[in-house]
Every structure is written in C-alpha cells, then in structure tokens.
Amino acid sequence: MLMKGSDIIVECLLEQGVDTVFGYPGGAVLDIYDSLYKYSDKLSHVLTAHEQGASHAADGYARATGKTGVVIATSGPGATNLVTGIATAYMDSIPMVAITGNVSCSLLGLDSFQEVDITGITLPITKHNFIVKDTAKLADTIRLAFRIAESGRKGPVLIDIPKDITQKSAEYERKEKAPAFKTPAADEKDVMEAVEMLANAKRPYIYTGGGIISADACSELAEFAELLDAPVSSSLMGQGCFDQTNPRYIGMLGMHGTKAAAETIKNCDLFIALGTRFSDRVTGNTKTFASDAKILQIDIDSAEMGKNVEAHKVVVGDVKEVLGRINKLLPKQNHAEWTANSERMAKELTVTMKGTEALPVTPDYLIETLDRLTEGNAVIATEVGQNQMWAAQYYKYRNPRSFISSGGLGTMGYGLGAAMGAKVGCPDKVVVNIAGDGSFHMNLNELVTASKSNIRIIELVINNDVLGMVRQWQRLFYSEHYSQTTLERPTDYVKLGEAFGIKALVIEKKEDVERVLKEALEESKTRPVLIECRIDKDINVLPMVPAGKSITEPIMEIEI
Amino acid sequence: MKQFVLSIQVANNIGVLTRVTSLVSRRGYNIKSLNVGETEENSFSRITMVVEGDERTAHQIVNQLNKLYDVSFVRILEDAVCREHILMRVGTTPEDRQGIIEITNLFKAKAVDIGEASMMLELTGSPVKIDKFISLLKPFGIIKIVRTGISALERD
C-alpha cells in the first residue's frame, strides 16, 4: 500500500522487532517524529538530553540485550553529535542502526542550514552507511542496514534520510525480518588441525574476548574449558563470557590484568585466543607476547588474523560454531597440575589498596561489596579510566552482557547513557554505572533523562577529585607534573542530584559502603539514584603494564 | 618494498571509490596507482590498485577491503597482463621533431596532436615500457604527462 516515507521508517523498525528507540528531534526529522507520535503505542522513544547520550544508550541497550540498538537524530549538529557514540560501537563491534535526517535532496550539497555530510563523516566508523534518495528504496535500505549491522562481526550502520524522502510516499509491503548473512563454516582442515594442537598441548591457556559474547558462545566456551582442562582469562570486552566465580578463571589479561594471567602466559605452551583481536592494551610488546607458546586464534574476522599478533594457526569462523565442532572432536584432556598452579597464583598474586585516614574507602572494597549485595547479577556499566578498570577487576561477572564498557575507543562519558540503555533493555535487572568524577562531568546532563523517564539506574560516582588514570601516568612517567588533572571541582553531588530530581547518597567512611549501597539498591526499585563515593586521589590501578612493555612484567606497587 | 597489483570488484554504488581508497589510506598504506571502470556488467566496477608494502601489508589490505559491503571480491594479481596508457605533451623545435618521431615509432607510440611548439604522444604498454619512454623523451622537454595507472587482467 502507498505509505508516507516517515511511516515506512517506523513500520520497518517494527518489522525488525525494535521496541525502543533513543533520540532527539529536530527540523530534518520532524516527519519521522510525527510518525513516532502516531505509532507511540507500538514503539517507545527515549528522549535524551543530548544526541551523544542517545547514541550511548542505543549502544548500551544493544550490549545488554544482544538486540540492535537504534538511535535517531536530526541533520547537522544532531548527526555530528552521534559520531562519538557510533565510533564507540564500531570499535567494540556493537550492532547499532543510526538514523539521521538530512536537508531535502534539492538542498544537499549547497551548505544548507543544518546540512552536514554525515555519510562522509561516518565512513571510517561504520560497517556501512547509506543516504536514501528515493522513498521507494527506503524500506529495503533499512532492512539491509539491520542485516549488515547484525551479520558477521557486528557493528554500526548509519542511514541518512533527506527530509523530502520522509515526506514523499511509496508502496510499502510488510516483510519478515531476514536472517543475518550466513558466516561460512570454518574450514574442516583448520578445525582438525586446531583439535590436534589442543590435544597435544601440555599447558594450554584460554584467552577469551568480546567475540564470545557477540557470538553467544558462552556455553560452548564453558564446555570447552572443562574438556581442555585449562585456565581461562579474558580481555576487558570478554568480561562475563566465562563465570568468574569458576576457579578456572584467573582474571583479566592486559595492561591492568592480573599477575596470574600474566604469569600463566609465560609458561603456557598453547595460547588459545577466542573471539578477540589482540588489542595493544592486551599484548603490550607484541614481540615478547606469548613468545614461548604456539598461538591458536579463532575469530570471525579474517582481517584480525596476523594484524597485531601472528598466530601459528588460525581458524576463521563463528566462534560458537567452531567451538561446538571442537567440543565434539576433542577428547577430554587432563592438565590438573598446570591448572591448579594457575588457580593458586590467581588466589595469591593479588594487589592491596590503601585508603587514607581522611578517606578510608577503597574501590576494591566498594565494588566487592556491590558484587556481594547484588550476587554478581547486576549489569555494570562503566565510564573510562580508573573506574572502568576497578569495575572490571573487582566485580565478579557471572553472565554475559553484564559488563557494559567502552573498550576500544575508551569513551569517557559513555557509561551513563549506556547504563540507561541497558536498563531500558533489561528493566528487571539492577543496572549500576560505575563512574569517576571526570567522566561523570562529561555527560552528567543525562541524569535528567534518567529522572524524567524514571530509568532506575544507580549512578555510582567514585570521586577522587582527579583524573586518576592520567594522574597515575603523570606520576610514573611525567615527573609528577599533574598537568590539568587535579579537578577538585566544587560540585555538590547531593544538590546536583536534587536539582535533577534524583536522590543522592554519599559514601565517606567504610561503614557507609554497605548501608548506602543497600539503600541505593532499595531506592532504585522505584527511582534512579546517585551515589558519590569519596576516595583518596592517589589510589592507583594495579597491576599495571606500561604501554609497549612486556605483558609478563606488571608493576605491582607504586610508591606514593 | 614490493609492489602488489590488486584487482577489486565493487558494486557500482555512489561513493564506492571513496570507501575503498579511504580505507586503504586510513590503514596507513600508500596507493601507487589507481584505475577504475565498469566491468562486463554495468552494476559492477573493477578497481585496479597498485600498493607498496610487504606480503603482510598486502594481505591486510585484501582482508580489510573484503569486509566492505560494496566490495564483491579482491584478488592480488600475480600472473596478469598489466597495461597503462599515457598521454604526453613534449616540447619541439623543428630540429628535435625527427628525434621525437623516431622514439615514438620505436615504442609503437602514436603522435596524436602536433602543434608549432609541441607534440602530443600516446602510448599503451607495461609500466616499465612507459617509464622508459618517458625517460628517453625527457631531454626534449616534457610539458605535461597524464598516466592512467595500471589496468590488469589475470591470464587464463
């Protein structure tokens, strides 16, 4: 039937099973918003304070639910405000569809009001993007955008739609959602060779990345780890793909990974990388990375093979499919002594944190308490910096999609929007954004979104009055020149929360921690809540491997 | 550094050339030459791209390009016929003219325009032959050169 372009857009979103979109209206999307008004009983819209917040919310929604996140913004500044959010999703392979309005076709290319070449701008940060110049092609373009976002290695896709395209009508016929493009099955010979390597390994090491989560391969991984009888480590993006209360889990690997994860690398003879891309934050110096071991890499993206680290054997394929096949072929292995040794190191080689008399609370105690009170079942979003590393180190993730963090791009200001998106997608879960005061100030405007739309998150700001991670580097490598990292802002968090209509609680002493967290968990059943937890500015993230240094030699203590 | 000739078949969509070239430069690889045209099917174009680098670089480019939605396939050409076309204007004096025509004939090139003070020459051939042609004509004074970049097709 003949239908207006803007209605076609909404119909196509419904075809794709979209229940919520995040966005912000404006001139070029007036017609789209008119259709959203018309369809408001079928598709809900979360209005953020800023388009960037909407883009992070769509991303957080996608990470928490596994469904594609959708964000809508107007042309020009609306579109450019999405850029950081799209780049964040791109770096972490998160499925997202961004819809931007643009000026009408006749005004394109004329530097018209609020015109920007957003397909040009987002070319390097999208899997693909479109500008639709014919209403008759609108529906199929939207369907294709979702398909591309959700296929293979996932990622964001942008559709730029000029205003007249949303106003004109075209024939529309509802279609069923098409399945993702099929990933070719891994090569039989490659799988057999991988199985042989695994069967011959004496000291295997399983290293897992975000690919396990996006491929939904967590149960295959759990079975694989038992079969192979090996210790398991994870990248930042892989947090939650393996139950961290399982003694096999020896902690995160990388710049702020555990000593046990690093020590185990030294001695392993087979390093098995599953759904991961060997980020420089993980490998440190690639020349010395797992140099005594053979490396087996299984990943969906052939471009990751040999990009950062040269593996001895690669299997290109969907990690769920490949692990499923390996699990059928691999006989049960026994590496009891090797595994026990890693488990022992994981228990023993830990770091200690010290607060001060004035500010005695330490992040490990705070986050471990949160872990205990939520029984590891909360969804934890993070900002970027020390807060992010502590959240990764001290919460014990049991489930996939429970750690929501900007790994690749390292976007400060990501967490609050992402937490809201996660909460909208998973309303029955406790969602906590662990923030630092630096990141918090970047996008704190979104507190008003949480308040207005009653998105019941807990915003936990660990306030040390400094940009802690940068300060840590300045301490170690820049002669303690704390250039522009001592914030000491006069923000009154309680008043700020009140101003936005949100209750704010303060943690200053150790005995406050449990009480306040309990109160916040209770409060968050009905309203979003803000917590300020004050800590000393010289608590560092440890262990730490300086950039480009060998991963096996982390710094375990920094003298203050 | 080795040179690689990539043959890239792409969907004939708006902006596809930008997608391909910007990806290559973004990943830090240098494009030596580039040639684009429609294929036997007008919904597809073929890009012939010469890049410099080691084996690893070349494979990275191929893998990265393969991920682009508009790219249908990428091949590193090894056994292929490579041709390039050149148009060149050479300054002439009446004394020089004979010498230029001799070189032109020797290379089976063609004089396509002759004026009072210059000649335009055209040549199709392998890049090596073209380089040689240019170097022999240099002493006469080259005013302008247009090279198409390599187009290449695998041998059967």
pLDDT digits (tens, 9 = 90+) for A299-343: 999 999 989 999 999 999 999 999 999 999 999 999 999 999 999
CA-angle at A180, arms to A174 and A183, nearest 5°: 160
CATH number for position B7: 3.30.70.260
Q: Which of A293, A321, A348 is the last residue of a domain?
A: A348
**Closest by Cα among A59, A58, A51, A53 to A29:** A51
CATH number for position A95: 3.40.50.970
**Same domain (yes/no): B102, B132:** yes
Both tokens of residue A394? 């001290």
Residue A79 has pLDDT above 90, yes or no: yes
**Same domain (yes/no): B69, B86:** no
- The predicted structure's pLDDT at residue B131: 95
CB B95, CB B141: distance < 8 Å: no
**Closest by Cα among A66, A343, A368 to A225:** A343
Residues 6+ apart with CB under 8 A from A427: A456
**Residue ranges of the alpha helices (H) in A132-252?**
138-150, 163-167, 188-200, 210-214, 218-228
CA distance, residue A104 to nearest chain B CA (Å): 18
The verdict on a CB contact (< 8 Å) between A123 and B64 is no
Q: Which of B78, B101, B118 is the last residue of a domain?
A: B78
Is A313 a known active-site residue? no
- The predicted structure's pLDDT at residue B27: 85
**Same domain (yes/no): B74, B89:** no
- For residue A477, report the phi and psi dihedrals to the nearest 5 degrees: -125, -5
- The predicted structure's pLDDT at residue B94: 86
Residues 6+ apart with CB under 8 A from A502: A447, A450, A451, A459, A527, A528, A529, A530
For an interface test with B, the pick among A93, A105, A117, A123 (most B C-beta atoms closer than 10 Å) comes out as A123
Nearest CA in chain A to B63: A303
For B94-121, b/e burial (b = at least 16 CB within 10 A) is eeeeeebbebbeebebeeeeeeeebbbb
CB B3, CB B32: distance < 8 Å: yes
Residues 6+ apart with CB under 8 A from A511: none
In a domain, A525, yes or no: yes
**Same domain (yes/no): A341, A384:** no
DSSP state of A181: P
Share of chain A above pLDDT 70, in %: 100
Is A114 a known active-site residue? yes
Q: Is B105 on the interface with A (CB under 8 A)?
A: no
Residue A64: how many CA atoms within 13 Å on its side-chain side? 31
Both tokens of residue A339? 């595994």
For residues A200 and A168, give the distance between their C-alpha atoms in angstroms, rounded to a whole number: 64
In a domain, A559, yes or no: no
CA distance, residue B41 to nearest chain A CA (Å): 22
- Whole-angstrom CA distances from A233 to A261, A273, A544 are 6, 10, 16
For residue range B75-93, list pLDDT tens digits in order: 999 999 999 999 999 988 8
**Same domain (yes/no): B150, B137:** yes
The residues in B 1-30 lying below 8 A from A, measured between CB atoms, are: 14-15, 18-19, 22-23, 26
Nearest CA in chain A to B56: A306
**Same domain (yes/no): A529, A385:** yes
DSSP state of A75: S
Torsion of CA B59, B63, B64, B66, to 10 degrees: 140
**Same domain (yes/no): A280, A380:** no
Domain span at residue A455? 363-534
**Same domain (yes/no): B97, B136:** yes
Out of A123, A127, A307, closest to residue B18 by CB: A123
**Same domain (yes/no): B55, B99:** no
**Same domain (yes/no): A381, A436:** yes
Out of B14, B22, B67, closest to residue A123 by CB: B22
CATH number for position B128: 3.30.70.1150
- For residue A127, report the phi and psi dihedrals to the nearest 5 degrees: -65, -40
In a domain, A358, yes or no: no
**Same domain (yes/no): B60, B88:** no
In chain A, how many domains are there?
3
In a domain, A545, yes or no: no
- For residue A360, report the phi and psi dihedrals to the nearest 5 degrees: -80, -15
In a domain, A84, yes or no: yes
3-state secondary structure of A58: helix
Catalytic residue among A114, A226, A368, A508: A114
In a domain, A540, yes or no: no
In chain B, how many domains are there?
2
**Closest by Cα among A421, A237, A230, A257 to A341:** A230
**Same domain (yes/no): B72, B101:** no
Both tokens of residue A556? 């375990």
Domain span at residue B100? 82-154
How high does pLDDT run on average in chain A?
97
**Same domain (yes/no): B47, B61:** yes
**Same domain (yes/no): A222, A107:** no
**Same domain (yes/no): B111, B65:** no
**Same domain (yes/no): B103, B115:** yes
Q: Which residues does chain B have within 8 Å of residue A307's beta carbon, measured at their own beta carbons?
A: 60
**Same domain (yes/no): A343, A371:** no
Q: Which of A285, A318, A348 is the last residue of a domain?
A: A348
Mean pLDDT of the region A342-362: 94
**Same domain (yes/no): A207, A314:** yes
- The predicted structure's pLDDT at residue B1: 79
**Same domain (yes/no): A204, A329:** yes
Q: Which of A348, A378, A405 is the last residue of a domain?
A: A348
Q: Which of B30, B60, B78 is the last residue of a domain?
A: B78
**Same domain (yes/no): B71, B101:** no
Preceding amide of A543 cis, omega within 30: yes
**Same domain (yes/no): A24, A118:** yes
Residue B53 has pLDDT above 90, yes or no: no
Chain length of chain A: 560
In a domain, A495, yes or no: yes
For A27-53, b/e burial (b = at least 16 CB within 10 A) is ebbbbbbbbbeebeeebebbebbbbbb
Is A51 a known active-site residue? yes
**Same domain (yes/no): A400, A524:** yes
The verdict on a CB contact (< 8 Å) between A303 and B70 is no
Task: Quickly count: other Cβ atoms within 10 Å of residue A205's Cβ.
Answer: 27
For residue range A405-464, list pLDDT tens digits in order: 999 999 999 999 999 999 999 999 999 999 999 999 999 999 999 999 999 999 999 999
Q: Which residues does chain B have within 8 Å of residue A123's beta carbon, measured at their own beta carbons?
A: 15, 18-19, 22
ipTM of the complex: 0.89
In a domain, A401, yes or no: yes
The model's pTM is 0.96
For an interface test with B, the pick among A105, A119, A316 (most B C-beta atoms closer than 10 Å) comes out as A119
For residues A351 and A225, give the distance between their C-alpha atoms in angstroms, rounded to a whole number: 27
For residue range A9-56, list pLDDT tens digits in order: 999 999 999 999 999 999 999 999 999 999 999 999 999 999 999 999
**Same domain (yes/no): A318, A422:** no
Residue A560 has pLDDT above 90, yes or no: no
Q: Which of B54, B78, B102 is the last residue of a domain?
A: B78
For residue range A450-507, list pLDDT tens digits in order: 999 999 999 999 999 999 999 999 999 999 999 999 999 999 999 999 999 999 999 9
**Same domain (yes/no): A383, A527:** yes
